[in-house]
Amino acid sequence: MSAVAKYLQHYAEPESQWLESFSYRFAQCLAIPMYKESPANFDYFCDFASLHPGTLLIIVLNRPVSDHEQLWAQTLINSLSTPLWQAAHHPLSYYPLAQHSGVLLVDRCVTGAAIATEQGVGLARKIANDIACQLIQRQQIQQPWIFNTDADARLPQDYFTSAEAFDSNKHAALLFSYQHIGANQPTLDTATQLYELSLAYYVAGLAWAGSPYAYHTLGSIMVVNYKHYAQVRGFPKRAGAEDFYLLNKLAKTAAIVSLDTSISILSRASNRVPFGTGPAVQQIIASGDYDAMPFYDPAIFHYLRAMLAIISALANGATLQAALHTIDEPGVDKALLESALIHFDLYKALHHTNSHAKTQTQRLRQLTTWFDSFKTLKFLHYIRDMAYPMLAYSEWQQAIKQQAFGQELQLPELAS
């Protein structure tokens, strides 16, 4: 049994098993969770699919059990034509669109069961991607890629062709570039610019330090290969950061590539998820003080660069003490760095690596897998908490000198 077949049989969501009589075929698919979305956003994606022949939209209308509001979802359902296909006794329906495209609608809001609050958007994404995985496995979707986005995204015309140049056996995921579209609301737009800046700064810091995990982790920009998706058992069922944790797992199976092609995301404050862009923007607005927004001290990325240099030296056969001795990164306190190595038990990881890996390449892969994107984040937070507290935006501007590790950042003009 293949890994995909095993995943679909044992770990996929029940909705992926409701497709026995579904026989339609498509060129590509796009998975979108929707919660309290407007008809305008829903119509945008139906129109987009109609302009791209053979597109299957897999939309999961969902709400948490704590929210009983259903009218928004019923309005979206009513806007569609009569379904061409329905799963027997299950809230899964197919609605045709122009040019052999269509909408496969999962109702986890009105007639279907609401989603456990703690599983949130993660489960909604998993349902949609599991359905896509099933249809690709059954050769009813031609492309081996599962495109993912959110209802507030606006996609470029070459969206689906962007994946064609990449070998699906060698790449686990592709990530579009992105930028937020202003809403002509100065308060909202400035808060969104600040949050986007903080994300770009973090990724720039990772890249400068040499991290293999230097990429954005937004669900709205992701394209995942169905085989690798199944290999890591799909999206984690959690109410936030499901995109971060999926990419963390995928990065251990094959390459993740950041694309030049860009999507646009509408600026909006939101409480649809407990954390992420919407809630962060809301918090920035609520604070009423843009200058006080916290940013990482640039110094912490120097410690990350030193940590990655140590990992490289260890993979080349150096002892830990010898690797530490060679560190000459400006401003790095070796005592603090060594305390981090002890805190994260690098000694244990190194012992395991040396016991199981024979070559430099194998050792580097094992250590890089151990020091993954989640541990990278925890490492940076350890250094922050021990010696380098967050800087207010106004202080950070001085510290960064309008450059972030070789990448110029767009600094928003704050209203006085």
Q: How many angstroms from the chain centroid is the CA of residue 269? A: 19
pLDDT, position 287: 76
This prediction's pTM: 0.94
User: For residue 257, which phi and psi values (nearest 5 degrees)?
Assistant: -115, 135
Q: Using the 8-state DSSP alphabet, how is residue 288 labeled?
A: -
pLDDT at residue 268 tops 90 = no
**pLDDT tens sequence across 321-348:** 999 999 988 889 999 999 999 999 999 9
pLDDT greater at residue 215 or residue 195: 215
Which H helix or E strand runs over 61?
strand 55-62
pLDDT, position 413: 65
Mean pLDDT of 182-193: 84
Question: Looking at 226-279, which runs of residues are DSSP E strands?
Answer: 255-266
Residue % of the chain over a pLDDT of 70: 94
Mean pLDDT of 276-280: 66
**pLDDT tens sequence across 9-50:** 999 999 999 999 999 999 999 999 999 999 999 999 999 999
Q: How many CB atoms lie within 10 A of CB 403?
A: 11
**Closest by Cα among 94, 84, 100 to 51:** 100
Q: Which residues pair with 154 in a beta bridge?
A: 264
pLDDT, position 271: 58
Residue with tokens 């760095």: 337
Distance CA 124, CA 373 (A): 23
Q: What is the mean pLDDT of the chain?
A: 93
Q: Give the least confident one: 77-86, 283-292, 330-339.
A: 283-292
pLDDT, position 278: 64
